[in-house]
Structure 1
Amino acid sequence: MQSRRNFIHQVAATAISLQLLPFTSWGKVPIQDGPVLRVAIMGLGGYATRVADAMQQCKRAKLVGAISGTPSKLTAWQAKYGIAEKNCYNYESFKNIKNNPDIDVVYITTPNALHHSQVIAAAAAGKHVICEKPMALNAKEGAEMVAACKKAGVQLLVGYRMHFEPKTLEVVRMRQDGELGKIKFFEGLSGFVIGDPTQWRLNKALAGGGALMDIGIYSINGARYMVGEEPIWVTAQETKNDPVKFKAGVDETIQFQLGFPSGAVASILSTYSVNYLDRFYLVGEKGYANLQPATGYGPIKGYTNKGELTQPHQTHQTVQMDEMAAIILDGKKPIIPVDGEEGLRDLKIIDAIYEAVKTGKKISLT
């Protein structure tokens, strides 16, 4: 983390000393004619930088603002991305964004526990909101966020980048068109060995849990759009081998099962203790689809009973932001929803998984 900060500061210093114009070394894609979604990113960490870099290739979305509690980050972002000082805020001055007509949407990439208050504040300021997943710590918070955005008349979208990924969408198309037949089974494997034990993702107050809230949500969401149904029950079991690193309320590994109305079932593993777990496997009566890696930054790889999936790789965040611009500006309907209600559905399942772990019971989702 420190090396990334140093790098950003070095880039900023170089740009200032050489009096570079914004984006001269970026090869930025020209914004196309027509309305453009003007975006401010809140929380300038590693993933925010990935989004900001990807947005330099967007045709419908433009990075115009930044919000951070660290003044040096705001200075660096102004230099690196050509952001006007008037479009930069700290967390105290953020409320003044309501008076800034140059910002359409706030993209929130802060720790999970901050999403609830920040989404509600952005909505109250009259700005559309994109919130990273999980949308909130629990379904209660999520419902309040959805309600606040509806009341304010703004859109709430969630950063489900896989909903726009071409190979993923091809598997969904095959399932929708009946090419796989009746779906019988889904397997999702989501895991990696987490590093720094002091990071916020291992802090229950900030993360709301452990692996399930970070990497496991990909398989929860994936089970829903791959099977094409909403689960009606869940069972779950937790394994914790390192109670020092994974303190109370921070899950290391959870295996869980979902049942669907059609009789299809899903078996999912979410863990912070095993690398190389990034796989979706969908089986129907007529065929199957395998994605591995299934949710990484790419390229996604996959094959079905009909052969290899060959759709070209595109940077996920670039595609996501252009597609979200079309949703907000044009009213486009995505193939797989990315709205607040979609985020809320995942949160209800997460709540039920934790309840199943705690009680050892099958938890109804209906």
Structure 2
Amino acid sequence: MNAEQNKPLRIAVLSFAHTHAISYCEALSGRADIELVVADPDGAAAPDDAPRGAELAASLGVDYVDSYADALAWGPDAVIVTAENARHRELVELAAEAGAHVLCEKPLATTLEDARAMLAATERAGVALMTAYPVRFAPAFADLVRRVRDGALGTILAVRGTNNGKLPSDRAWFTDPELAGGGALVDHVVHCADLIDELLGARAETVYAVANRTIHAGAAVETGGLVTAKYPGGVIASIDCTWSMPESGPAWGGLTLQVIGTRGSITIDPFAQHVAGIASDGAVWASTGDNLDAAMLDEFLDAVRSGRAPRPDGAVGLRTLEVVDAARRSVASGEAVRLG
């Protein structure tokens, strides 16, 4: 390995808006092969309950710069975009212009037009675009994919996904229709859509969805939803994306995937491994499973170092956004929507 390959990678995290930015900083901070900076210029003005900006960076022990321009002028090899959904396009395009590879938080964008523009910008610049789907890296999912492809379940008939969680109350933008692009349909459908597409090796043909605000009735976006998608061969997949975990719950929520075939069924629950109990300061719920964010970051960093395309890439982010877009149109029309 030459001296250039031994140099630490420069990584800039753009925004603390998404709470996953904290996990990414914790995974990268202190690594000898990484130099890390964060910029969160919108944090000070955000109406959030939890810390943002320089205060949060200091608590995490990471270097902070005041603007996205400063972060990009630093010359990062790659950036991680964890801003509000509606701001993804601008930051990805700026990063591409600066020649930085990009890991972008899900959903890739709030509109298909923005997502396509992001793919085009990174392709023109010759930089990688990866979509942040950490559950792809769960050992349970890898084992499920292997069993399905080996024929252990026979012909697949149906898939049932759930991605339920708390209303993200400490980040106000999650319930802002403009910044988020929607509510539970936008926030939680894409994870399961990614897993189902990868599992079946196919894209959804039609999407039907219903949504409501029965839970958290005062929210400006949908807080509950159920999406049903039909895949080639007649496979029916459903995704429950409701923000149904109460605020008093000890954990943020969870994700499950059940696959039903002619020879049996398998259910995975990648976040189930934990210790739980009651302590003097309240309920205890601590994950003891694999750090999926760290595994996803390892894939991204290896792709940046080697010059190969990361997986899942930006095209996957666009494809899963197409499912969300169809779901939103289905809710509005009351009818199933055929994907192009």
Query: Structure 2-normalised TM-score?
Result: 0.81
Is 1:263 aligned to 2:239, yes or no?
Answer: no
Q: CA deviation at 1:109?
A: 0.8
Q: Secondary structure at the match of 2:154?
A: coil
Distance 2:238 2:111 in 1: 22
Q: For 1:310-361, what per-residue CA distance to the aligned partner results, in whole angstroms no more than 9, with x for missing partners?
A: xx93211211111111122224566xx3111000001111111111111112
Distance 2:315 2:302 in 1: 18
Contact 1:188 1:219 in 2 (8 A): yes
Distance 1:44 1:187 in 2: 32
Q: For 1:188-238, what per-residue CA distance to the aligned partner results, in whole angstroms no more than 9, with x for missing partners?
A: 112224163981111101110001111222222222123332111111122
Q: Secondary structure at the match of 1:271?
A: coil
Is 1:348 aligned to 2:325, yes or no?
Answer: no
Q: CA deviation at 1:251?
A: 1.3
- 2:47 aligns with none
- 2:244 aligns with 273
- 1:359 aligns with 333
After TM superposition, the structure 1 = structure 2 runs for residues 45-84 of structure 1, keeping only pairs within 5 Å, are 45=17, 46-56=19-29, 62-69=34-41, 70=43, 73-74=53-54, 77=57, 80-81=60-61, 83=63
Match of 1:190 among 157, 163, 181: 163
Match of 2:172 among 175, 187, 199: 199
Q: 1:176 to 1:34 in 2, by over 3 A?
A: farther
Is 1:330 aligned to 2:306, yes or no?
Answer: yes
Q: 1:278 to 1:319 in 2, by over 3 A?
A: closer
Q: CA deviation at 1:80?
A: 4.6
Q: Secondary structure at the match of 2:152?
A: coil
After TM superposition, the structure 1 = structure 2 runs for residues 234-249 of structure 1, keeping only pairs within 5 Å, are 234-241=207-214, 244-247=217-220
Match of 1:142 among 87, 96, 115: 115
Q: 1:109 to 1:82 in 2, by over 3 A?
A: closer
Name the amino acid aligned to 2:326: A
Name the amino acid aligned to 1:74: A
Contact 1:135 1:343 in 2 (8 A): yes
Q: 1:205 to 1:181 in 2, by over 3 A?
A: same
Distance 1:317 1:243 in 2: 28
Name the amino acid aligned to 1:216: V
Q: For 1:77-112, what per-residue CA distance to the aligned partner results, in whole angstroms no more than 9, with x for missing partners?
A: 3685353x6xx3414x34x72x434x2011011111
- 1:176 aligns with 149
- 1:90 aligns with 67
Q: CA deviation at 1:128?
A: 0.9
Structure 2 unaligned spans of 5+: 45-51, 247-252, 275-287
Matched residue pairs, number?
A: 309
- After the TM superposition, list the runs of 4 or more consecutive aligned residues in structure 1 that deviate by more than 6 angstroms: none
Contact 1:138 1:350 in 2 (8 A): no
Q: Secondary structure at the match of 1:51?
A: helix
Name the amino acid aligned to 1:338: P
Query: Structure 1-normalised TM-score?
Result: 0.76
Name the amino acid aligned to 1:326: D
Is 1:107 aligned to 2:87, yes or no?
Answer: no
Structure 1 unaligned spans of 5+: 1-32, 301-311
Name the amino acid aligned to 1:232: E
Q: For 1:123-161, what per-residue CA distance to the aligned partner results, in whole angstroms no more than 9, with x for missing partners?
A: 111111111000100211100000011111111111111
Identity of aligned residues (%): 26
Contact 2:29 2:62 in 1 (8 A): no
- 2:277 aligns with none
Contact 2:8 2:34 in 1 (8 A): yes
Distance 1:52 1:136 in 2: 22
Q: Secondary structure at the match of 1:118?
A: helix
Distance 2:121 2:258 in 1: 37
Q: Secondary structure at the match of 1:262?
A: helix
Contact 2:40 2:54 in 1 (8 A): yes
Distance 1:76 1:253 in 2: 31
Distance 1:197 1:44 in 2: 12
Contact 1:130 1:157 in 2 (8 A): yes
Contact 2:168 2:174 in 1 (8 A): no
Q: 1:240 to 1:49 in 2, by over 3 A?
A: closer
